[in-house]
Amino acid sequence: MNETSHLFLAKRENNPLRDNILVNTRQCKHFPGDPERSIALMEELGRKLAQDGRADKTTVVIAFAETATAIGAVVSGFFHDCFFVTTTREKLPDWATAIGFEEQHSHAPQHYLCVRDEDAFRRAAQVILVDDEFTTGRTAMNLIRALDGCLAPRCSIYAAALAASAESFENFRSAGITPVFLASSDGIVGCSAPELPAPDRAVIPRKPDRITHVNSIYDPRLGVHADSFLAECSSFCTRLAGEISASGTVEIIGTEEFCYPALLLGKMLAGKCRAVVHCSTRSPMLPCGGRDGFAEPSPGEYPIVSRAVLRSVYDPERRVYLYNSRPCDLTVILTDAYSPDPAALNELCGAAGGAEVQVICWHGKKLPTSYLPEDAELLLTDITGKLEPLPAKEREPLIQSGVHYSELLPAEYRPSDAYFREYENGLKLWAKPNADAVRTVAETIWAEKGRHAVLVSLARAGTPAGVLIKRYIRRKYGVSLPHYSISIIVGRGIDRRAMEYILARHPADGIQFIDGWTGKGMITRTLRSALEQFPLYEYGIGRDKLDRLCEIAVLADPAGLCRLCGTHGDMFIPCACLNSVVSGLFSRTVLKTGVIQPDEFHGAAYFGELAPLDRTYEFITAIEAAMTYGEAQLPPPASGNGLAETREIAEKFGVPDIKLVKPGIGETTRVLLRRIPELILLRDPDSPLTRHISELAREKGVEVRRYPLKCYEACGIIRVMDNV
């Protein structure tokens, strides 16, 4: 075992189970350390583990949070076929299968390990448990017991750490676990803790000078293929290191369990400045005051000199600590909190030492929404304020002159009292048919894909349908399926980055795309074209499975294109009538160069000013109140041909481009809300199905004409603009 000059003891605060904590100055966790030396130490552990042919075996590396997540990431890079996962104390998604176990001696003992990829565990020839140090080894053995039944019978188990005690070494040997350590933690003599600890630093919150967003698709808490995760981290950190003007002393801070990217960025910056890396932590230790917090302590010296007590950016109700920060030229904070608490982030910036403070948010700029997180995860970039919403009279000429509709943000319609009344009447009349359609689609998805289904709704029209289907299955079967809402744009395709995000978490054959309704089938054809160009073979989808993957489930299919539908009738779907105020308060999706960066999801804007009018959950509740939970069968195949009828209408009315003909209740409503209509065709102007359309047409002064539609109840014809 190697020398121990980098190992020190610090006094724990308020922990009767354990007096001291081991502080490793080369770990870059509690102590601000040199990232190059830190990574070199972790690589030494990785090389030792990979000896004797172990590098070529199918491997699962499990790193204990918080302190070993970076060590585990570095170690995982030494194995050719490696699944890497960290334990966590954070809340996992409700769909994630996880096992719980306890960490011995900890102030926060409860841990979780996500085992959502059961095959990765079952096929592993070896499992490597990684921690910064083992005192007794009981935590690791608690986890192994919790994993009982998840691993192959002959799977070899290793316990690896930067340091460990002789007691843990013997405990592992007795349990049939092979220990691999770099240093002994026995006999480390630390300076006694101060009788009067130094007072905590006063923290004056400050806003960051700059916030940068990168859109990482991998999360080691959920498990990742090590090569993909490490490559993404390297790519982002290389780019960030090139963008950061660094000189003098630069402090890099990771947040709690998020350690590896901070360490890697520090190593990349080390060539042009003095870089020191450390992380905020839940571990409470007493400070002693005195020397420079960035200076390496002498042997036997007490390592912790200052402490800031902060709120966590993940959960402001939780207390965390930052040790040994001191004035420097620049601080760079990296966090993987999906929505960092603003006040807690300002506190962390205030505790940092940099004259300038930059923040890097690892998981993009998520779009606000009135949907609850447990109902939908919107894979959309927030572009609020970046693109001016345009009224239809300005937007329509641009579209007809060749500007793609996805580059323009339509101004949101603010419903009149009269229109709200028509919406409410329609909701009362058609809640039951909508609920029946949800039941039919949900039961079919469950029958065909079961608990492995992954709901992927097409924003925005598909999002409410996806929420209702998820809630139906959760209530009837007690299973919370993952539900993502992503962008698909005619002429641009599906959001590839969002697809990569989903496929980093779920098998491809579980995906079920969802939309609200069909018009003339443009989205259906766009989806198939996009998936044919996507490298699905990398995810186990061959030509034999492509047809099923391309199927969209819809509530209403008047175009006659979808097998998986609630009805082939042109049904009144209330969420088609009010746009954002019944669909989570976000816009249609946007893809515009300069607004959306290459690694970002497609974008949307949040209409917070419409919050007083928001009826998103009023709609959800009304449909659920009409829901029954019995069996259901798909309707027989459709007899009509919606696309052929659309072409007939275009020819009949002399419309030069079929794109200007929008059939179906949903599409006709959109024409009135977002475009410049020339004429509205209704099968029966007196039908309660289309009263809201008649009201909108009256408000906007648009002619309504009775017409013998076959597949549809309504059709909107967009005006050809004279000035184009």
Mean pLDDT within 126-136? 95
Question: Rounded to 5 degrees, what angle do the CA atoms 400, 404, 406 make?
Answer: 130
Mean pLDDT within 265-276? 95
* Cα distances (Å, whole numbers) of residue 163 to 9, 20, 61, 86, 669: 13, 15, 18, 19, 66
Any domain includes 369? no
* Cα distances (Å, whole numbers) of residue 545 to 455, 509, 529, 533: 17, 8, 15, 15
714 and 594 within one domain: no
Any domain includes 106? yes
Whether the upstream peptide bond of residue 703 has omega within 30° of 0, thus cis, is no
620 and 648 within one domain: no
Question: Rounded to 5 degrees, what angle do the CA atoms 132, 133, 137 make?
Answer: 125
Tens of pLDDT, residues 50-85: 999 999 999 999 999 999 999 999 999 999 999 999
Provide CB contacts within 8 A for 602, sequence distance 6+. Answer: 380, 381, 406, 486, 487, 489, 495, 498, 589, 590, 591, 596
- State the SS3 of 457-522: EEECCHHHHHHHHHHHHHHHHCCCCCEEEEEEECCCEECHHHHHHHHCCCCHHHEEEEEEECCCCH
Q: How confident is the model at residue 107 (pLDDT cuts 50, 70, 90)?
A: low
Any domain includes 591? yes
Measured CA to CA, the distance from residue 181 to residue 1 in angstroms comes to 7
Mean pLDDT within 359-384? 95
Query: How many domains are contained in the chain?
Result: 3
> First CA to last CA across the chain, in angstroms?
78
> Given 158, 184, 210, which residue is the final one in a domain?
184
Q: How confident is the model at residue 16 (pLDDT cuts 50, 70, 90)?
A: low
511 and 408 within one domain: yes
- Give the helix ranges, DSSP H, for 309-408: 342-351, 392-400
555 and 692 within one domain: no
Measured CA to CA, the distance from residue 381 to residue 365 in angstroms comes to 6
Q: Quick check: helix, strand or coil at residue 355?
A: strand
Any domain includes 553? yes
Q: How confident is the model at residue 192 (pLDDT cuts 50, 70, 90)?
A: low
475 and 535 within one domain: yes
Q: What domain range is 160 assigned to?
A: 7-184
Out of 39-53, 482-496, 565-579, pick the least confident.
565-579
Mean pLDDT within 31-35? 96
Any domain includes 507? yes
For the domain that residue 672 is a member of, what is the CATH number? 3.30.1330.30
432 and 508 within one domain: yes
* Cα distances (Å, whole numbers) of residue 558 to 569, 635, 646, 662: 5, 12, 12, 12
115 and 77 within one domain: yes
Question: Rounded to 5 degrees, what angle do the CA atoms 24, 356, 209 make?
Answer: 120
Measured CA to CA, the distance from residue 294 to residue 346 in angstroms comes to 22
Mean pLDDT within 128-147? 93
Measured CA to CA, the distance from residue 20 to residue 174 in angstroms comes to 26
Q: How confident is the model at residue 108 (pLDDT cuts 50, 70, 90)?
A: low
For the domain that residue 142 is a member of, what is the CATH number? 3.40.50.2020
Q: What pLDDT is attached to residue 278?
A: 98
Residue 215 token pair: 């859109």
Q: Which of 335, 337, 336, 328 is nearest to 357 (CA)?
A: 328
Any domain includes 17? yes
Measured CA to CA, the distance from residue 280 to residue 283 in angstroms comes to 9
Tens of pLDDT, residues 145-190: 989 889 998 999 999 999 999 999 999 999 999 999 999 988 776 6
590 and 529 within one domain: yes
Residue 86 token pair: 């960290």
pTM metric for this prediction: 0.93
Tens of pLDDT, residues 704-724: 999 999 999 999 999 998 754
pLDDT over threshold 60, residue 665? yes
> Given 184, 219, 242, which residue is the final one in a domain?
184
592 and 512 within one domain: yes
pLDDT over threshold 70, residue 106? no
Any domain includes 281? no
Whether 666 and 573 have beta carbons less than 8 Å apart is answered as: yes
676 and 556 within one domain: no
661 and 603 within one domain: no
Q: How confident is the model at residue 196 (pLDDT cuts 50, 70, 90)?
A: confident
Q: What pLDDT is attached to residue 355?
A: 96
649 and 604 within one domain: no
Q: What is the CA radius of gyration of the chain?
A: 29
Any domain includes 698? yes
Whether the upstream peptide bond of residue 460 has omega within 30° of 0, thus cis, is yes
Sort residue 594 into left (φ over 0), alpha (ψ -120 to 50) or beta: left
> Given 137, 161, 184, which residue is the final one in a domain?
184
Measured CA to CA, the distance from residue 568 to residue 555 in angstroms comes to 9
Measured CA to CA, the distance from residue 160 to residue 64 in angstroms comes to 11
